[in-house]
Amino acid sequence: MFKRIKQFYFGLTAEITKIDHDFLNVYLSPEERELFYNMDAATQFHSIRVAKTAQQLMTRYPAVDKNLLLRVALLHDIGKPAGHLTTILRSLIVLINHFSPNFAHKLARPGRGNRWNNLRHGLYIQYNHPSIGGELAKKAGVDSQVVTLIEDHHRLAKPEDSIELTILRKADNLN
């Protein structure tokens, strides 16, 4: 519960600093930065937190591809473009999904308009953002390894998953 309250607070107060922009410039290409900046401030802030958490976690794994992991951590939620999920809508989606995940999945439909349709669209984006993000990354010419990790970051874990995907999931869950 505390994690969700913290996420809500960060969603309302998200601010990207010069240090954050410098961090992005080190790890992302100009095309990747464009994808990153197409997310809203709250999602950008979340992605930076995921990347910094991944940076801490990766110290336990000497074989990890640091650049790959940090790139995908920064880009993993590009399937949630700005304007599709407000902080309040995200909170409502978390609650609906927590109390009735089957109902939430049935509600999910693309297409915005009135409040009801916006909720359905928000659920659709939430459940489909990995594949949406993968498509956006492919169109932008992002490396296929990054695309695959974006697409797989909410898929059920498998024993053969890469260490980068495992760390990404853990960092995402912690944020």
Around 160, how many Cα atoms within 13 Å sit in the side-chain half-sphere?
0
Q: What is the mean pLDDT of residues 9-33?
A: 88
Position 67 scores a pLDDT of 97
As a whole number, the mean pLDDT across the chain is 92
What is the length of the chain?
Answer: 175
d(CA 170, CA 175): 9
Q: What is the mean pLDDT of residues 81-105?
A: 88
User: In the structure, what pLDDT confidence band is assigned to residue 7 with cuts at 50, 70 and 90?
Assistant: low
Position 11 scores a pLDDT of 60
b/e per residue, 105-140, with b = 16+ CB within 10 A? eebbeeeeeeeeebbbbbbbbbbbbbebbbbbbeeb
Does residue 134 have a pLDDT over 70? yes
Where is mean pLDDT largest: 77-86, 113-122, 166-175?
Answer: 166-175
Predicted TM-score (pTM) of this structure: 0.90
What are the structural domains, with CATH classification, of the chain?
2-174 (1.10.3210)
Q: What is the pLDDT of residues 116-126, one digit of tens each?
A: 899 999 999 99
What is the percentage of the chain residues whose pLDDT exceeds 90? 77
Position 85 scores a pLDDT of 83
